[in-house]
Amino acid sequence: MACLATSEICDTNQALVIKGDVRVLQPIFQIYGQCRAFSGPIVTLKVFEDNVLVRDMLESPGDGRVLVIDGGGSTRCALVGGNLGQLAQNMGWAGILVNGCIRDVDEINACDIGVRALGSNPLKSSKKGHGDKHVPVNVWGTVIHDGEWLYADSDGILISKSELSV
Ligand SMILES: O=C([O-])CC(=O)C(=O)O
């Protein structure tokens, strides 16, 4: 699937941007993974320094969706590592956005998915299984709902209420 360029989306959908139906995420995410550009319907997850639910979600078929993990912005441990990156690739996820950290960067960079995260931290997270699936999350001021669309490329990350075309 050819990916829409985020800058083009913003130029051709100015009314949607003004209305807030298309929002630009804060430009604070690092780019990882083989796919610099990716898009898809969003599945949301809210966790804090605990990635049991991340594995749970990635074990189900991705069907080209994007997993948005709101880790509360914590950079004290990693929510996704090489194994989960591989799992996401094998299960057909288009990408993962982590409002938090990843680890095993070299392994994740070899995976055929797109990944965005605040940075990397070699510490693993706790494994208690706390968190919520499919809930609205707030990522640095941008509220993201399950079922919305994410478009990411080298220029930035967009959240759209619905699928976009040019
Ligand atoms: O299990 C974890 O905490 C994450 C990880 O290291 C991996 O996915 O390889």
Residue 27 sits in a domain of what CATH number? 3.50.30.40
Note the pLDDT tens digit of each residue in 116-149: 999 999 999 999 999 999 999 999 999 999 999 9
Which ipTM was obtained for this model? Answer: 0.92
**CA-proximal residue: ligand 1, atom 7 (nearest):** 81
Token pair 């994740």 is at which residue? 108
Instruction: Please state the domain count of the chain.
Output: 1
pLDDT band of 165, cuts 50, 70, 90: confident
Nearest atom in ligand 1 to 87's CA = 8
For residue 166, the model assigns a pLDDT of 64
Nearest atom in ligand 1 to 51's CA = 3
82 known ligand binder: yes
Q: Residue 49: CA atoms inside 13 Å, Cβ hemisphere, count?
A: 8
Report yes or no on 133 lying in a domain: yes
Report yes or no on 166 lying in a domain: no
Report yes or no on 99 lying in a domain: yes
The total number of residues written for the chain in this structure: 166
Residue 124 CA to ligand 1 centre (angstroms)? 7
**Cα 119 to the chain's mean position, in Å?**
13
Model-level pTM? 0.97
Phi-psi region of 57 (alpha: psi -120 to 50; beta: other; left: phi over 0): alpha
Domain assignment of residue 129, given as a range? 6-160
